[in-house]
Structure formats: structure tokens, C-alpha cells
């Protein structure tokens, strides 16, 4: 638990959306600092002082700043263990939790981005092997149970569900039933629906203001 104020530096329909859903799932109050990326607000000096890369999401918690979606998700999950979404140290799922969260940032996203720009690094030199291997490993894991760590949803599923839904929409990953079913299972939750609804409103307002 924490008494320090949380602020999510956020833009609608971005990687920060999954963070916003996670905050909703954790049931914690959080100020939203909404940036209009169409106006380049993420590159303002004030925001660059928070994240020098000028990218969202970023999280301020008291004097602590956390950037990188996965670091933020791990940080929040540990901060609110009572929400029941975090395999904490001592939980037999903790190792797998860290594995799949890190796999997301270190293997899946780079593989996806390389694929989208048509870059094919040599398999033995890339951090992830090949795109097809990453897809195969992920599909195999998701076929085992309703959620990535088993029968119960965890912080990891919020990230993976949001991302796979995005990747399916953009046809960036194969349209496998295991991906489609999983993404639907996760993103049909009330938390996602609340955030998607609000984001449609915010996005339209930002568009009009840009
Ligand atoms: N590795 C970062 C990537 C963050 C990122 O690329 N955010 C995009 C939005 S989805 C962004 O802020 N882009 C704005 C820009 O680069 O100007 C993370 O996972 O948080």
C-alpha cells in the first residue's frame, strides 16, 4: 500500500492504455496527466524532464518516476498485492510471471516491431531468435490455460491481452484462434471497456484540439 500520490502520464490509444486498465483493475486512485501526442506534448520540456525519451506511459509516485510499460506494471503490481493480481515473491508462479513480463519487453515487442518494418536480423544475433519462434512459443504457452500463468488472471494478462488485441487489429501477428480467444477473454473485462469508452471520447477531443 502507499499514501504517496500516483500520476499516470498518459495518452489515449497508446501503450499507456494498458497501464490505465491495470490501475483500474488494481482499484487505485490515480491522477491522469493526459498528453496530446498529435500536438507533440510528449516532447515538451516539462515532460522530457519526466521521461527523456518523450514517450508514454510514465508513472510518478511521490518522488519516484518509473518509465517503460513493463517496469510500471511490475511496480504497480507489487505496490498493490491485495488486488490479487500479482504473483508476489514466494508464489510458485513468480518466476514464470517475471519470465513472461520480460519476454514481452525483451523478445515479443522487438520481434513485432522488426516484423512491422520488415527488418529480419540474423536469428543467432537477435535477442529473440526469429519472429516465428516468438509466435510459436507464445501460442504454445497461451494454449495451456485461460491465462498466461494458468487458471487465474494476473497483471501479465492485462499487458498481453491489450497488446495482442492491438497486434491482431493491425494484422501484425497471425490470426490464430488461441490469440483471438485470449485477447477477447482479457479485453472483454469491464476495466478494458471502461477505458476504451473513455479513450474514444478523449481521442475525439484531442483530434479536435490538434
Ligand atoms: N518501451 C516503451 C515504449 C513507449 C512508446 O513507444 N510509447 C509511444 C506510444 S505507444 C510514444 O509515446 N510515442 C510518442 C513518441 O515517440 O513521440 C514502453 O514500453 O513504455
Query: Do 160 and 102 contact (CB within 8 A), yes or no?
Result: no
Q: What is the architecture, at CATH level 2, of domain 6-84?
A: 3-Layer(aba) Sandwich (3.40)
DSSP state string for 8-39: EEE-TTSTHHHHHHHHHHHT---EEEE--GGG
Integer Cα distance of 142 and 149 in angstroms: 9
Output the residue whose Cα is nearest ligand 1's atom 12.
55
Task: Note the pTM of the prediction, 2 decimals.
Answer: 0.97
**Separation of 67 CA from ligand 1 center, angstroms?**
10
Q: Are 155 and 74 in contact (CB under 8 A)?
A: yes
Cα 52 to ligand 1 centroid, rounded to whole Å: 11
CATH topology of domain 94-190: Glutathione S-transferase Yfyf (Class Pi); Chain A, domain 2 (1.20.1050)
Please, are residues 15 and 186 in contact by the beta-carbon 8 Å criterion?
Answer: no
CA of 49 to the centre of ligand 1 (A): 15
Among the atoms of ligand 1, which is closest to the Cα of residue 67? Answer: 20
Domain ranges within the chain, ordered by starting residue: 6-84, 94-190
Task: Report residue 89 as a C-alpha cell.
Answer: 515473491
pLDDT of the chain, 210 residues: tens digit per residue: 567 999 999 999 999 999 999 999 999 999 999 999 999 999 999 999 999 999 999 999 999 999 999 999 999 999 999 999 999 999 999 999 999 999 999 999 999 999 999 999 999 999 999 999 999 999 999 999 999 999 999 999 999 999 999 999 999 999 999 999 999 999 999 999 999 999 999 999 999 999
Q: DSSP 3-state assignment of 92?
A: coil
Pocket of ligand 1 (CB under 6 A): 14-15, 37, 42, 54-57, 68-69
Say if residues 203 and 10 touch (Cβ distance below 8 Å).
Answer: no
Which atom of ligand 1 is found nearest the CA of 57? 20
The best mutation among 39, 56, 68, 203 to test binding of ligand 1, ranked by most ligand atoms within 8 Å of the C-beta, falls on 56
Q: Which residues contact 139 (CB under 8 A, 6 or more apart)?
A: 176, 178, 179
pLDDT of 1 reads: 52
Which neighbouring-strand residues pair with 63? none
6-84 matches 94-190 in fold: no
Amino acid at each position: 500500500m502507499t499514501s504517496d500520490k500516483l500520476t499516470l502520464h498518459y495518452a489515449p490509444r497508446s501503450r499507456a492504455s494498458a497501464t490505465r486498465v491495470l490501475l483500474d483493475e488494481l482499484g487505485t486512485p490515480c491522477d491522469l496527466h493526459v498528453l496530446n501526442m498529435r500536438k507533440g506534448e510528449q516532447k515538451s520540456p516539462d515532460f522530457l524532464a519526466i521521461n527523456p525519451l518523450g514517450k508514454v506511459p510514465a508513472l510518478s509516485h511521490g518522488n519516484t518516476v518509473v518509465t517503460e510499460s513493463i517496469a510500471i506494471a511490475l511496480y504497480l503490481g507489487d505496490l498493490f498485492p491485495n488486488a490479487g493480481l500479482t504473483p508476489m515473491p514466494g508464489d510458485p508462479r513468480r518466476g514464470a510471471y517475471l519470465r513472461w513480463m520480460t519476454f514481452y519487453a525483451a523478445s515479443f515487442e522487438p520481434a513485432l516491431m522488426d516484423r512491422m518494418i520488415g527488418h529480419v536480423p540474423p536469428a543467432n544475433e537477435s535477442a529473440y531468435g526469429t519472429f516465428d519462434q516468438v509466435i510459436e512459443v507464445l501460442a504454445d504457452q497461451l494454449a495451456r490455460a485461460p491465462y498466461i500463468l494458468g487458471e487465474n488472471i494476473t497483471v501479465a494478462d492485462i499487458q498481453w491481452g491489450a497488446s495482442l488485441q492491438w497486434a491482431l487489429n493491425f494484422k501484425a501477428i497471425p490470426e490464430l484462434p488461441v490469440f483471438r480467444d485470449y485477447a477477447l477473454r482479457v479485453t472483454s473485462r469491464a476495466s478494458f471497456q471502461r477505458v476504451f469508452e473513455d479513450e474514444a471520447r478523449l481521442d475525439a477531443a484531442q483530434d479536435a484540439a490538434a
